[in-house]
Amino acid sequence: MFAFFKTLRKAVRRAILPVAALALAACDPAALGGLGSGLSNSGPRIDTTQPVPVALLVPRGSGQGSDELLANNLENAARLAMRDLNGVEIDLRVYGTAGNASTAAAQAAQAVNDGAQIIVGPLYAEAANAAGVAVAPQNVNVLAFSNNTTIAGGNVFVLGSTFENTANRLVSYAARQGRDRIVVVHAQDVAGQLGRNAIQQAASRSGATVTGTVDYPLSQQGLVAAVPRVKSAIDNAGANAVFMTAAPAGGLPLLSQLLPEAGVSPTATQYVGITRWDIPRQTLDLPGVQGGWFALPDPARAGAFRSQYEAAYGSAPHPLAGLAFDGIAAIGALAAQGNSGALTGSALTQGSGFQGATGIFRLRSDGTNERGLAVATVRDNQVVVIDAAPRGFGGVGF
């Protein structure tokens, strides 16, 4: 029943926080870290009369079937984006990283030697960090598929949806609904701590109050033992919302079962999750998640991308494939402006952002990103959007 904990530990070793939240993990922040802000406004100048040389780094060559499938999906999505660039031509060259840092660094350096003026990918956080370090002397920016913000900064931008982005959206929405006294429940691993920190920071910006936090070790026994402490934290502070960092592949199924049984009524205390509760689909059938809130990309935009991908390739895209589409779409939109500085940090971080596979997004000068997310609930085992994703920046959620 609790095989998901084994899956979770494996994910930690791969050092990625998957955007689809099939498992949550992170690497040691001290082992990575961005390169600082010194390179954020740098980047090569492009010849606007020629195709833009872009390197796509994918986890091909690792020997893992899942990596090969994802590598193919990322390349497909990138080429799909190239079809709709309003006259901009991309010279795309694809490099396999084998899913590891040393190969990613070597391939990134080779790509720049081959003429690449920007890098899209790679996937895993350590690989993305290594690629960024390898090409920093050439002032080449990296649009990584990771959502691990410990590697963001300098010439590395993360494209994946982050804890901070999701927490900001959900906490601000909860506060507007009067659910402004929050208890945070999180695992003791790095991912749980990052999730907790994101919720706390979002609360400080939205006027909500984190009245308590309850952590638990990554074990069935530890999670079960935490439930009475959650109940006490809610009762003692009069909290009206409980935010959980657990994913469906982690502790969410057990938490959503045990909390109601312990007397934490979902009607009195709003359940909120900062991971995707609709992946896998079976999660929606859990009694404990009914009425809970979570965030997800703009369903209309995501559906349109899925249909476009299926029409082109005959199968549904991997949940992470849209990140490659986004990277190419951003490069194409900037190059279409005819500006030789289209690939500099200042251009990449334009405030108006970009239209991506799953909605609007923009890159921030600290290497992180903001994405337009919808707020959804689970009703009768179905996803129901209760607050639509914004279509432009400056509105709800930002």
Give the integer Cα–Cα distance in Å for 247 and 226. Answer: 16
Place of tokens 């279409």: 336
Q: Contact 299/374 with Cβ under 8 angstroms?
A: yes
Q: Contact 397/172 with Cβ under 8 angstroms?
A: yes
Q: What is the mean pLDDT of the chain?
A: 90
Give the integer Cα–Cα distance in Å for 230 and 63. Answer: 43
Tell me the pLDDT band of 394, cut-offs 50, 70 and 90: low
**Average pLDDT of span 198-207:** 97
Would you say how long the chain is, in residues?
398
Using alpha carbons, list the distances in angstroms from residue 30 to 27, 145, 187.
9, 20, 19
Q: Contact 241/266 with Cβ under 8 angstroms?
A: no
pLDDT tens-place string over residues 16-58 = 443 333 333 333 332 344 444 434 457 889 998 999 999 999 9
**Does the pTM exceed 0.85?**
yes
pLDDT of residue 42: 72
Give the integer Cα–Cα distance in Å for 111 and 118. Answer: 9
DSSP 169-190: HHHHHHHHTT--EEEEEEESSH
Q: Contact 134/121 with Cβ under 8 angstroms?
A: no
pLDDT of residue 171: 98
Residue type, 195: G
Q: What residues have CB less than 8 Å from 134, skipping those under 6 apart?
A: 104, 105, 106, 108, 109
Tell me the pLDDT band of 86, cut-offs 50, 70 and 90: confident
Using alpha carbons, list the distances in angstroms from residue 227 to 152, 181, 251, 252.
34, 18, 12, 12
Q: Within the chain, what is the greatest distance between any pair of CA atoms?
A: 66
Tell me the pLDDT band of 10, cut-offs 50, 70 and 90: very low
Pick from 165, 142, 144: nearest CA to 345 = 142
Give the integer Cα–Cα distance in Å for 41 and 32. Answer: 21
Q: Contact 184/274 with Cβ under 8 angstroms?
A: no
Alpha helices (H) in 83-219, listed in sequence order: 101-113, 125-135, 163-176, 190-206
pLDDT greater than 90 at residue 137 = yes
